[in-house]
Amino acid sequence: MWHALLALAFHEYALAALVYLAYLVWPWKPFPAIGRVLVGSGLVLHGIALAAQGVPQGLIQGLSALSFLLLLLQLALDLRYRMPVIGAFLTPIVVAVLVPSVLLHGSAPTLPNSVRRPLLPLHISIALLGMAAFAVATGVAVMYLLLDRQMKGKRFGMLFSRLPSLGFLDELNRRLVVWGFIALSVTLITGAYFASGIHGAVWVWQSKEIATLVAWALFAGLLTARVFAGWQGRRVAMLTMAGFCLLLVSFFSHYPLPYDVGLR
């Protein structure tokens, strides 16, 4: 039943992705509105399905929740800043990410009691929110680099008129990275708390932890350079992408604790 809702939402997202991509080629006025309605109604169905399943505990559920947050953020930004072009960059990726969640549905793995602590939903939610913020920041960084290339090369393609300004994209990237960084810091601290429950130690040197720590250090450095050295533009966009790749490594490294991903 809940899975049917997810499948329905998935189809709406897929349609929205097509609409957003079509908008890039053919700037028909109703396209952005259609995309927003499809994503919005998909989010409602998706949200109900997620709420019914409770705290996401397997990779599949995690991806589904991440997709939900990502699209929610996308829709909020689109509505706030009227930039439907962002849908063409994020929605197709979300659709791809959701495929396993739609095809493979199983019940979530049961977590060992050692991790079942009261703060677990908070830890997971904040971690996913951070991931979503960084994912959108990466999408924005890609948009920045594409526009920067067109501005430098003076080849004004279809994207040129649809993309917001470089200044706006850079500022949006800054805000998203700040919020993502805060979420990531909280995740690291609460993560340590749960790690102590599993491993008996606050910190273990495993790929997930290392990747997260390196990403954290990278974003910390990035924000410092922004504030104190005035870094902005291209290099910030590229570093954002690099940081997000590290977070992806972390995300897919034996997610979640323990290893069972809930495939049946």
Partner 1 sequence: MTELLCLGLSHQTAPVAVRVQLALAPEQQEQLLRQLSTHRAEAMLVSTCNRVEFYLVAVDVQQAKTAVVDEISARAGAAATAHIYEHHGDAALVHLFRVSSSLDSMVVGEAQILGQVKDAFELAQRVGAAGGELTRVCSAAFAAAKRVRSETGIGRAPVSMASAAVELAEKVFGGLTGKSVMMVGAGEIAELTVKHLRSAGASEIIIANRTQQRAEALAADLGAVAKPFEALPMLLVNADVVITSTASPTPLFTPESVGPALKSRRFRPLFMLDIAVPRDIAPEINQLAGVYAYDVDDIEKVVADNSAARGAEADKAEALIAEEIAKFVRTRSVRDGVPVLALLRARADQIARAELEKTLSHLGEGLSEKQRRSIEAMAIAIINKLLHQPTAKLREASLEEGISRLAGAAAELFGLEETPSPSDPAATAQPGRPR
**CB closer to partner 1, 23 vs 251:** 23
Is 92 among the residues that bind partner 1 (CB under 8 A)? no
In single-letter form, the type of residue at position 81 comes to Y
Is 161 among the residues that bind partner 1 (CB under 8 A)? yes
How many other CB atoms sit within 10 Å of the CB of residue 100? Answer: 15
**CB closer to partner 1, 160 vs 193:** 160
Nearest to 213 by CA among 191, 241, 228, 193: 191
Is 164 among the residues that bind partner 1 (CB under 8 A)? yes
Cα–Cα dist 71/69, whole Å: 6
Q: Which stretch binds partner 1 (CB under 8 A): 13-21, 24-32, 154-162, 204-212?
A: 154-162
Write each residue from 122 to 151 as x if it is in contact with partner 1 (CB under 8 A), else as -, in one continuous string.
Answer: -------------------------x---x
Write each residue from 168 to 207 as x if it is in contact with partner 1 (CB under 8 A), else as -, in one continuous string.
Answer: x--x------------------------------------
- Shortest distance, CB of residue 237 to partner 1, whole angstroms? 12
Q: Which stretch binds partner 1 (CB under 8 A): 26-34, 111-119, 120-128, 157-165?
A: 157-165
CB 197 within 8 A of CB 225: no
Q: What DSSP line would sit under the chain, residue for residue?
A: -HHHHHHHHHHHHHHHHHHHHHHHHS--THHHHHHHHHHHHHHHHHHHHHHHH-S--SHHHHHHHHHHHHHHHHHHHHHHH--THHHHHHHHHHHHHHHHHHH---PPPPPPTTT--TTHHHHHHHHHHHHHHHHHHHHHHHHHHHHHHHHHHT---HHHHHS--HHHHHHHHHHHHHHHHHHHHHHHHHHHHHHHHHTSSS----HHHHHHHHHHHHHHHHHHHHHHH---THHHHHHHHHHHHHHHHHHHSS-SSSS-----
Write each residue from 216 to 245 as x if it is in contact with partner 1 (CB under 8 A), else as -, in one continuous string.
Answer: -------------xxxxxxx----------
Is 167 among the residues that bind partner 1 (CB under 8 A)? yes
Count of residues touching partner 1 (by CB under 8 A): 21
User: Which of 28, 160, 193, 203 lies at the binding interface for partner 1 (CB under 8 A)?
Assistant: 160
Cα–Cα dist 141/145, whole Å: 6
**CB closer to partner 1, 50 vs 140:** 140
- Shortest distance, CB of residue 26 to partner 1, whole angstroms? 16
**CB closer to partner 1, 104 vs 178:** 178
Is 166 among the residues that bind partner 1 (CB under 8 A)? yes
Q: Which stretch binds partner 1 (CB under 8 A): 7-15, 68-76, 109-117, 161-169?
A: 161-169
| Binding site residues, partner 1, CB under 8 A | 147, 151-152, 154-156, 160-161, 164-168, 171, 229-235
